[in-house]
Amino acid sequence: MAVTRTKDTYLAARYKRVASRRGKKRAIVAVQHSMLIAIWHMLTHDVAYHDLGANYFTERAGTARQTRRLVTQLNNLGYTVRLDPIAAA
C-alpha cells in the first residue's frame, strides 16, 4: 500500500491506471505482481532497481497515438474535433 502513495513513481502510476478500471483491490494485486517481476529481474540479472517514472505510460504511447485516442473519445461523445498544430515560435 505504501508504494501506491508515493509520488512520481512507475508503481504509483500503474496503481492509478489499474484502479480506475478494475478497482483498488485488483490494482494492489497488479502492483504486487509488477514488483515481483522487477525483483525477479533484479536478482536474475544482478542489477539495481531503476524506476521508469510516473510518466512512463504517457511517453510510451507517443503523441500521435494519444492524439488519435483522444479525438476518437471526443467523437464518441458527440463532438466534432478540428486539430491545428501550434506554430513554432
Half-sphere exposure of 40 (CA within 13 A, CB side): 6
* Euclidean distance between CA atoms 13 and 10, whole angstroms: 5
Q: State yes or no: pLDDT of 69 exceeds 70.
A: yes
* Euclidean distance between CA atoms 10 and 51, whole angstroms: 6
| Mean pLDDT across 42-67 | 86
Q: What is the pTM of this model?
A: 0.67
Query: Cell triple for residue 43?
Result: 536478482
Residue pair 52/40 in contact by the 8 Å Cβ criterion: no
What integer pLDDT is reported at residue 22 of this predicted model? 94
| Mean pLDDT across 60-86 | 86
Q: State yes or no: pLDDT of 89 exceeds 70.
A: no
